[in-house]
Structure 1
Amino acid sequence: MTNATDAAEPLTGATTGTPTVLPDSFCPADGTRVPGGSLTWSCPTCRGPLDLDFSPSPAPLKALAGRVNSLWRYAECLPLPAPAISLGEGRTPLVELAGPVSAKLDFLMPTLSFKDRGAVMLAALARRLGPDRVIADSSGNAGTAVAAYCARAGLDCTVYVPAGTSPKKLEQIGAHGARLEVVDGDRESTALAARAAADEPGTFYASHVHNPYFLHGTKTYVHELWEDLGGRLPDALVVPVGNGTLLLGAALAIRELHTAGLIARRPALYAVQSAAVAPLAAAWRSGADDLVGETPMAPTYAEGIAIPRPLRARQILRAVRDSGGGFLTVTEDEIAAAQRDLASRGLYVESTGVACWAAVRTGALGDRTTVVPLCGAGAKTGLAEAMVG
């Protein structure tokens, strides 16, 4: 096992422009700092999620020509050098859907979901730190991605999942050699079980919510859009939000590009939630800066974003507000109809992954240029109407 102090030493042969010393983390709520290279997974004071003290400068468009065709082409913006464990993640296609709306096909990732963007960062970090074990908790896609990249990195991995997780996702996690811990209860019960295990010595908690490296992986979604659109971004970015990892990553990338003078204006961020479990949308409607009241768990086809108490709620609400965007909710009938509609266009997407198309396909954002992510493959869950709800 690599000592955490040793892990902070510079690497050799790192990609030019990428830091070789791990940056510190800090708590956005109270400012508590955590040294780079530590296995500490949450704020030691309040136990909240961490952010990374890392403010990169992206390369100009012309400098990207000829670089590796994966998310690692944005080396200047990533807190780790390109790892040997890469599966070529990133650089997914951008296709027109209808009118001003285009879709980024992130279900074409190696494990068939956008979570690969963040999972490769977590596995690369874990490999550098050398823990005895890696654990993760997930309703499916994040756990699958972490399991795959840990297999690639030769890391011992256990994934905690809630009872009722799609059998197809469980099969995929197990196929990568990870141990499964099925927790009786909902998504939050699963997270609590994983966090208890995460405090054991020698454990790396590959949390896509707590660990800020995950956000610096998901932000490459926007860097790719910027490159594919010739150095600009659309009027609006519409993203599904449960724990908010894609939205917060998008906000990071937008800030980086704007600060560097590579975009003249920032796009509006629109967050999509299932109407059945929409705590952030409820807070937005009330004008609150944080969650209001309790949101009960309820059945929904959009299981991947059914998070009653997202830990980064304040950050999500602030990011949407600062962008001039808003929140949209979709019903179960709208989700099912959107999944059928995309399938009729040749795109078979899982029920959570169609939520953004469900929100905008009838013209909710007017004639503004808009991009939606299609986040996971339909093979992971099947058709919405066939799911047990």
Structure 2
Amino acid sequence: MDDSSTSFDRPFLYDRSGRRYAVTDRRWRGEDGTPLALSPMPGLTPDRIDTSERSLWRYQAAIPVPPRHRVSLGEGCTPMLPLDWNGLRVHFKLEWFNPTSSFKDRGVAVMISHLRGQGETRVLEDSSGNGGSSVAAYAAAAGIRAKIIVPAATSAAKILQARAYGARIELVEGTRDQVSDEAIRQSEQIPYASHNWHPFFLQGTKTIAYEMWESLGFRAPDNVVLVAGAGSNILGCDIAFSELLEARQIDRRPRLLVGQPEHWATIADAVNGIDPRSRGPRVPTIAEGASIATPVRLPETVQAIRRSGGAAVAVTEDQIRAAVRRLASRGLYAEPTSGVAAAALDHFLADGTIGPDQTTVVVLTGAGLKSAEKMATLFGSDIDPDEGSRA
């Protein structure tokens, strides 16, 4: 977020070169080829929250989409569950309570609302799963045709969900970044509703931070622990807490503490000054939603972490698997991508980054049901085939 771009009266888009564009401009990136950001919105005060609305649209005053264009399936207002974790009270934000069972619904709801307001009748998205499912759902709700390009190795459950909403699915062999390259090529013909590129997606993800603030009695937590792939939750939190600081509703930024799978830790390595090549060849991770080698907003995510006084860590596959099992033992059936955040929590507790008297929120991004095949590798061998007949 560029604080020098403050303009509350007339919001605008801008690229890394500083060139400005109207919010009505039908573009998803700048003329310089870099991602676009929206100029800062005025931060909310408690009296501007629409408490009659039980969705993220209760923060309509901070969302730059006119109510008449709104597309909603009831996203947001997810539970924030306090649990004892290593003897400390930690809050877990359960994002699978969103309509398609992942946090992506926040950003997609706002992005699709904006695109509908622009009169779009079809959209293109590329996704490893959750983003595609979400775009398919909200496009269906908006009466917009959707095409989703996904890696061939994507979870069958996620592909099935997107197909169920009526989206056209195209499978592409190769890495997540190769899938993105193909989507960018096709974006010459189809409007690109990319959850990684489109600036209005971040205007939806920022509502998770507003919910933390409201749930904690209009106070900021000390720490927010996040898993990062492209970093949209990092940037969403940075935007919202910056807006709240500007509105004098909080007096400090929460530290953003980030975890990534060790072979896909581009953001963490950039924060820590590590050459990613030192990790050797990239190998598949059970946390498929975080396997992004080249986040398009890498400089911005690194700046957001550092601005918050936060930190980032790479976690191993064994640590991710152990974290998923531990979450499940507490009744939280989180997909392995979410397990990265729990593994990062363990790391930051162990090294003293998170102290015993601090308020910490851990964001669990999606449900285990979205990654049935990956969850089966963790729990399938533990199932007694005769257990159901004895119940």
Whether the TM-score (by the shorter chain) exceeds 0.5 is yes
Partner of 1:149: 138
Task: Quote the offset at 1:281 in angstroms.
Answer: 1.6
SS at structure 2 position matched to 1:361: helix
| Cα shift readout 1:259-315 (whole Å, capped 9, x = no counterpart) | 100011211111111112112222222279xx8889743211111111111111111
Query: What residue ranges of structure 1 are gaps of 5+ in the alignment?
Result: 1-18
In structure 2, how many angstroms separate the alpha carbons of the residues matched to 1:43 and 1:33?
9
Residue of structure 1 in register with 2:43 after alignment: 58
Are residues 1:274 and 2:265 paired?
Answer: no
- For residue 91 of structure 1, report the CA deviation from its aligned partner: 0.4
Structure 1 equivalent of residue 301 of structure 2: 316
* Distance in 2 (alpha carbons) for counterparts of 1:138 and 1:287: 27
Counterpart residue number, 2:80: 94
Q: Counterparts of 1:295 and 1:126 in 2: how far apart (Å)?
A: 41
Equivalent residue number for residue 292 of structure 2: 307
Going from structure 1 to structure 2, the CA distance change for 1:104 and 1:342 (only over 3 Å counts) comes to same
Query: Who is 1:15 aligned against?
Result: none
Q: Which runs of 5 or more residues in structure 2 are unaligned? A: 1-7, 379-391
Task: Give the aligned partner of residue 16 of structure 1.
Answer: none
Task: Say if 1:385 and 1:210 are closer, same or farther in 2 by CA, change over 3 A.
Answer: closer
CA RMSD, Structure 1 to Structure 2 (Å): 2.1
Equivalent residue for 1:191?
180
Q: Please list the CA deviations of residues 119-157 of structure 1 after superposition, one character each: whole Å capped at 9, or x if unmatched.
A: 011111121112242000000001110100000000011
Q: Which region of structure 1 is more displaced relative to structure 2, 127-136 or 145-154?
A: 127-136
Distance between the aligned counterparts of 1:233 and 1:118, measured in 2? 21
Partner of 2:244: 257
**SS at 1:373's partner residue?**
strand
Q: Are the aligned partners of 1:137 and 1:194 in contact in 2 as well (CA < 8 Å)?
A: yes
2:64 is aligned with 1:79: yes
SS at match of 2:372: coil
In the alignment, is residue 215 of structure 1 matched against residue 202 of structure 2? yes
The answer as to whether partners of 2:50 and 2:58 remain within 8 angstroms in 1 is no
| 2:150 matches 1:161 | yes
Choose between structure 1 and 2: higher helix proportion.
2
Please state how far the C-alpha of 1:32 moved relative to its aligned partner: 2.2
Tell me the residue number matched to 2:368: 378
In structure 2, the CA distance between the partners of 1:65 and 1:236, relative to structure 1 (3 Å rule), is same
Specify whether residues 387 and 24 from structure 1 end up closer, same or farther in structure 2 by C-alpha distance, changes over 3 A only. farther
Contact 2:51 2:58 in 1 (8 A): no
The Cα shift of 1:384 comes to: 4.2
Q: Say whether the 8 Å CA contact 1:282–1:292 is kept in structure 2.
A: no
Contact kept? 1:339, 1:384, Cα under 8 Å: no
> Given the superposition, is the C-alpha separation of residues 213 and 65 from structure 1 closer, same or farther in structure 2, using an over 3 Å criterion?
closer
Report SS of the residue matched to 1:232: coil
Task: Provide closer, same or farther for how the CA distance between residues 297 and 387 of structure 1 changes in structure 2, counting only shifts above 3 A.
Answer: farther
Q: Tell me if 1:38 matches 2:38.
A: no
Give the 3 Å change call, closer, same or farther, for CA 383–174 of structure 1 in structure 2. closer
Partners of 2:78 and 2:178 lie apart in 1 by 33
For 1:125, the equivalent position in structure 2 comes to 114
Q: Structure 1 residues 286, 84: CA separation in 2 closer, same or farther (over 3 Å shift)?
A: closer
- Distance in 1 between the 2:148 and 2:96 partners? 21
Task: Say which SS state the counterpart of residue 230 (structure 1) adopts.
Answer: coil
Task: State the alpha-carbon separation in 2 of the partners of residues 57 and 295 from structure 1.
Answer: 44
What is the alpha-carbon distance in structure 1 between the residues aligned to residue 241 and residue 116 of structure 2? 29
Q: For 1:235, give the aligned amino acid.
A: D
Q: Please report how far the alpha carbon of residue 348 of structure 1 lies from its aligned counterpart in structure 2 after TM superposition.
A: 0.5
Question: Following the alignment from structure 2 to structure 1, what is the Cα–Cα distance between the partners of residues 296 and 246?
Answer: 27
Offset from partner CA, 1:333-359 (integer Å, 9 cap, x none)? 111111111111111111101211111
Hey, what does 2:381 align to over in structure 1?
Answer: none
Alignment coverage as a number of residue pairs? 362
- CA distance in structure 2 between the aligned counterparts of 1:306 and 1:270, rounded to whole angstroms: 18
Q: Deviations over 1:85-119 (max 9, x none)?
A: 21110000111122131101111100000000000
Partner amino acid for 1:357?
Answer: A
Structure 1 SS opposite 2:264: coil
Percent of residue pairs bearing the same amino acid type: 41
Q: How far is 1:172 from its partner?
A: 0.3
TM-score, normalised with respect to structure 2: 0.88
- For 2:310 and 2:102, locate their aligned partners in 1 and report how far apart those are by CA, in whole Å: 25
Counterpart of 1:48 in structure 2 is: 34
Give the Cα–Cα distance (whole angstroms) in 2 for the partners of residues 328 and 383 of structure 1: 26
Of residues 94, 105, 112, the one that matches 1:116 is 105
